[in-house]
């Protein structure tokens, strides 16, 4: 009796698209904020990890009949934050970009978790091992992003920018 693989290929394709989008987004942040200490180097490292994930997914896409797919609106949101660099605070834009990276990485994490469960059910040890390693790296990405969000938020939101205005909206009252 043949093992049913259902939508495993579809999910693999969505995840590959998600990892490709995350790699592009990390590289964009590295480029746009090249003057920030350590940030470009870390973003390039995380982009390379996502590139590795894309490469690791290829044999599974072939095995389960999937193809790369557009991950949808979530990854397109990042482009909107990147375009925001034209106007307003660069630091506020960076904070928004880090938040979007965190959401994109969370989305990929959910896909890795789902595929880990499928790999266990299919008894596909190589897919399970790839998922486990990708989840380990994903946890590092998420922890780094969360740390930078927490670290940068007070400075970005409460300290006046070069125009003398605070970037935090405070309603009159």
Domain that holds residue 131: 8-158
What are the C-alpha distances in Å from 34 to residues 6, 23, 148? 44, 16, 16
Does residue 61 sit within a domain? yes
Q: Residue range 77-85: average pLDDT?
A: 55
What are the C-alpha distances in Å from 11 to residues 65, 107, 143? 11, 12, 24
Does residue 88 sit within a domain? yes
- Rounded to two decimals, the pTM is 0.84
Q: Residue range 71-92: average pLDDT?
A: 61
Does residue 51 sit within a domain? yes
What are the C-alpha distances in Å from 102 to residues 30, 84, 148? 15, 18, 10
Q: Residues 125-141: pLDDT tens digits?
A: 999 999 999 999 999 99
Per the prediction, the chain carries an average pLDDT of 85
Q: Name the pLDDT band for 120 (thresholds 50, 70, 90).
A: very high
Contact 54, 26 (CB under 8 A): no
Quick one: pLDDT at residue 1?
A: 30
Does residue 117 sit within a domain? yes
3-state secondary structure at position 170: coil
* Two structure tokens written together for 42: 């870390």
The CATH number for 36's domain is: 1.20.1260.10
Q: Is the pLDDT of residue 22 over 70?
A: yes
Does residue 145 sit within a domain? yes
Domain count for the chain: 1
Q: Let me know the angle formed at the C-alpha of 55 by 52 and 56, rounded to the nearest 5 degrees.
A: 85
Q: Name the pLDDT band for 172 (thresholds 50, 70, 90).
A: very low
- The C-alpha R_g of the chain, in whole angstroms, comes to 19
d(CA 27, CA 167): 26
Does residue 52 sit within a domain? yes
3-state secondary structure at position 131: helix
Does residue 164 sit within a domain? no
φ, ψ for residue 73, nearest 5 deg = -55, -40
Does residue 79 sit within a domain? yes
């Amino acid at each position: 009796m043949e093992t049913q693989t259902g939508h495993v290929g579809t999910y693999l394709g969505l995840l590959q698209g998600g990892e490709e989008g995350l790699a592009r987004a990390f590289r964009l942040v590295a480029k746009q904020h090249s003057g920030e200490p350590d940030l470009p180097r870390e973003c390039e490292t995380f982009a390379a990890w996502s590139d590795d994930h894309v490469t690791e997914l290829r044999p599974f896409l072939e095995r389960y009949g999937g193809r790369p797919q557009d991950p949808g609106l979530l990854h397109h949101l990042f482009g909107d934050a990147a375009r925001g660099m034209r106007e307003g605070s660069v630091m506020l834009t960076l904070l928004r970009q880090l938040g979007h990276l965190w959401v994109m990485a969370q989305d990929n994490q959910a896909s890795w978790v789902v595929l880990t469960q499928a790999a266990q059910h299919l008894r596909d040890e190589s897919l399970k091992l790839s998922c486990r390693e990708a989840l380990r790296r994903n946890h590092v990405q998420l922890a780094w992003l969360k740390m930078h969000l927490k670290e940068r938020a007070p400075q970005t939101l409460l300290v006046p920018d070069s125009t003398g205005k605070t970037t935090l909206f405070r309603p009159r009252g």
